[in-house]
Amino acid sequence: MLTGKNYIGNKLSGEGNIFFKTFNPLLNEENNQVFVEASTKEIDEAVMLSAQAFKQYRNISGKDKAAFLNAIADETLALDDKLIQTYCSETGLPEARAIGERGRTIFQLRSFADLVAEGSWVDASIDTENPDRLPLPKPDLRKMTIPLGPVVVFGASNFPLAYSTAGGDTASALAAGCPVIVKSHPMHAGTGELVASAIIKAVQKTGMPNGVFSNLNSSGIDVGIQLVKHSEVKAIGFTGSIRGGRALFDLAAQRKEPIPVFAEMGSINPVVLLPQALKENKNLPKLYADSITLGTGQFCTNPGLLLGVKSDELTEFVKRLGEEIVQIEPSVMLHPNIAKAYHENENNAVAQSDVNVVANYTNNVKSNFAKQVVATALGKTFLKNPVLHQEVFGPYSLVVACEDVEELEAIISNLEGQLTGTIMAAEKEVTEYINIVEALQNRVGRIIYNGVPTGVEVCPSMVHGGPYPASTDSRFTAVGINAIKRWVRPFSYQNWPNELLPDELKDENPIQIIREVNGKKTTNEIK
């Protein structure tokens, strides 16, 4: 049952005086449940409790953390249809999407459980002493990663499960040994509260310290700002807009003790249509009409920019893309504010000089639904107008016709950092256009060959991140088990007594992890 309150550790608390409701965009009406925003006192209480919990949680074994993460997965599944129906009522997204996203969330939790149960992820390395070294003896040095401390997680509106309360940021931070305080997304506060209740049950069932997880409601940006400024918070995970991510990044940098902000933000995900691919691949217009409109275009990997060199084939592609896209039935957006932002941003983009609309769904649609739009511009127009480089969050894409390959390369090189880049190529075109491919590689976190950017697989080789502003730190990924590396720091023990070392670094290697010992990867004990 929903209460509308905050979880401060295992305590339900609603002392604040700001109230709000979530919104059902399909019914175009507010949902019934009233939520109460966390007060300044409650924010402080949650953070102080998490700092207290960290003292114990940072030393909990990988096996016990794995049991905790698996229990979160079990308790989330036990929420069953209540979770699915709440998710749908707060987003307008269909049940199948809710079930799919829950599956992804469960998979992420269990993947991190497996990772920490096995244990080698701590990157242990040992350089044993050499007392005979001249001119000075060499000390014994042993290094592994250790957790940073309490992490604040901001989830995105468009993934109420997989990038929110128990999503990738929370799962990876808990796996790393960091307590988590979630700043619940106001658009899906009910979904957030249900998942938070599952996490709290898992805390209790597996004997984790109270305060290892809290969930705070907010109706605006104040709660998040207070959390980022709190001196006991040691890192931030954010998924959302560039504007929001950048604001939090700047705030964290201004603190007396600056802290890392791992913000995964918007992107326009350029797609390069190489000439021969345009000639040979007759399915391209349909493929891209589907990808642009998937989930009403509300994916951070939505293809918002299609690039080609002027040709009859490019003209034909644009015409057919327009024909295909208007045949797709428009769908509802997550919230009236997101629908409003889409209409404003799309209108602003197509109102720029020398931008032409090629396709615009013209029939009337219901409130909160989005009409898909495809526009075109010349390369030189795109190059000189930064407005055209900005994300239009929704079913919108701009096709840019470049004068020649040199202009195409210049455009790619001038793009802001992106989550993904896609190359549509015929045989041998990748080698023929290697400069284009390399220019794209320099701007993105993931490059796709003959496919679409939408769809982010959860696996160790996934990179979901990229040069700024796709993310605030291109050295890390937000998806896949390597996301855990954001929440730890390397730490060395020098000449530390064996019995006082953590198990990961003891001579006898009691948990049998892979370590680098004197430059060689091994599971062997040190004799």
Query: Is residue 248 near ligand NAP by the rule CB under 6 A?
Result: yes
Per-residue mark of binding to ligand NAP, 276-315 (x: CB under 6 A): ------------------------x---------------
Nearest to 329 by CA among 299, 288, 285, 363: 363
Measure the CA angle with vertex 100, ends 297 and 1; round to 5°.
105
Query: Is residue 158 near ligand NAP by the rule CB under 6 A?
Result: yes
Q: Is 459 a catalytic residue?
A: no
Beta strands in 114-179 (DSSP E): 125-127, 141-147, 151-154
Other residues' Cβ atoms within 10 Å of the Cβ of residue 177: 24
Tally of CA atoms within 13 A in the half-sphere of 387 that contains its CB: 14
Cβ closest to ligand NAP, residue 105 vs residue 218:
218
Query: Is residue 266 near ligand NAP by the rule CB under 6 A?
Result: yes
Q: Total residues at the site for ligand NAP (CB under 6 A)?
A: 29
Query: Is residue 368 near ligand NAP by the rule CB under 6 A?
Result: no
The token duo for 12 is 């339900």
Q: What is the dihedral angle through the alpha carbons of 433, 436, 437, 439, rounded to the nearest 10 degrees? A: 150
Q: What is the DSSP letter of 415?
A: S
Query: Is residue 486 near ligand NAP by the rule CB under 6 A?
Result: no
Query: Is residue 143 near ligand NAP by the rule CB under 6 A?
Result: no
Phi, psi of 308 (to 5 degrees): -150, 170
Grouping H, G, I as helix, E, B as strand and the rest as coil, residue 17 is coil
**In terms of C-beta density within 10 A (0-12 exposed, 13-18 middle, 19 or more buried), how is residue 114 classed?**
middle
Cβ closest to ligand NAP, residue 88 vs residue 462:
462
Active-site residue (options: 37, 75, 101, 264): 264
Cβ closest to ligand NAP, residue 179 vs residue 465:
465
Query: Is residue 224 near ligand NAP by the rule CB under 6 A?
Result: yes
Please identify which residue in the block is written with the tokens 């399909």: 26
Q: Which stretch binds ligand NAP (CB under 6 A): 27-35, 67-75, 242-250, 370-378?
A: 242-250
The Cα–Cα gap between 92 and 337 comes to 13
Interacting residues with ligand NAP between 453 and 472 (CB under 6 A): 464
Closest distance between ligand NAP and the C-beta of residue 453, in Å?
12
How is the beta sheet containing 488-494 ordered, strand by strand?
488-494, 141-147, 125-127, 515-517, 520-522
Cβ closest to ligand NAP, residue 68 vs residue 163:
163
Q: Which stretch binds ligand NAP (CB under 6 A): 154-162, 195-203, 277-285, 312-320?
A: 154-162
Query: Is residue 240 near ligand NAP by the rule CB under 6 A?
Result: yes
Query: Is residue 391 near ligand NAP by the rule CB under 6 A?
Result: yes
Active-site residue (options: 88, 178, 300, 402): 300
Q: Which stretch binds ligand NAP (CB under 6 A): 218-226, 365-373, 438-446, 491-499?
A: 218-226
DSSP class per residue in 224-245: HHHHHH-TT--EEEEES-HHHH
Closest distance between ligand NAP and the C-beta of residue 355, in Å?
21
Closest distance between ligand NAP and the C-beta of residue 476, in Å?
12
Q: What is the distance of C-alpha 119 from the center of its chain?
A: 24
19 in Cβ contact with 34 (< 8 Å): yes
Query: Is residue 220 near ligand NAP by the rule CB under 6 A?
Result: yes
Q: What residue type is assigned to position 260 of the chain?
A: P
The token duo for 399 is 């096709």
Tally of CA atoms within 13 A in the half-sphere of 507 that contains its CB: 11
Closest distance between ligand NAP and the C-beta of residue 42, in Å?
16
302 in Cβ contact with 342 (< 8 Å): no
Query: Is residue 482 near ligand NAP by the rule CB under 6 A?
Result: no
Other residues' Cβ atoms within 10 Å of the Cβ of residue 97: 17
215 in Cβ contact with 182 (< 8 Å): yes
Q: Which stretch binds ligand NAP (CB under 6 A): 263-271, 394-402, 483-491, 499-507?
A: 263-271
Cβ closest to ligand NAP, residue 163 vs residue 288:
163
The Cα–Cα gap between 451 and 421 comes to 10
Cβ closest to ligand NAP, residue 22 vs residue 241:
241
Closest distance between ligand NAP and the C-beta of residue 218, in Å?
5
Closest distance between ligand NAP and the C-beta of residue 330, in Å?
19
**In terms of C-beta density within 10 A (0-12 exposed, 13-18 middle, 19 or more buried), how is residue 120 classed?**
middle
Cβ closest to ligand NAP, residue 152 vs residue 359:
152
Closest distance between ligand NAP and the C-beta of residue 487, in Å?
16
The Cα–Cα gap between 414 and 412 comes to 5
Query: Is residue 265 near ligand NAP by the rule CB under 6 A?
Result: yes
Q: Is 264 a catalytic residue?
A: yes
Closest distance between ligand NAP and the C-beta of residue 247, in Å?
3
Phi, psi of 417 (to 5 degrees): -60, 145
Closest distance between ligand NAP and the C-beta of residue 286, in Å?
24
Query: Is residue 154 near ligand NAP by the rule CB under 6 A?
Result: yes
The Cα–Cα gap between 20 and 22 comes to 7
Catalytic site positions: 264, 300
Residues in contact with ligand NAP by CB under 6 A are: 154, 156-159, 163, 183, 185-186, 218, 220-221, 224-225, 239-241, 244, 247-248, 264-266, 300, 391, 393, 419, 464, 478
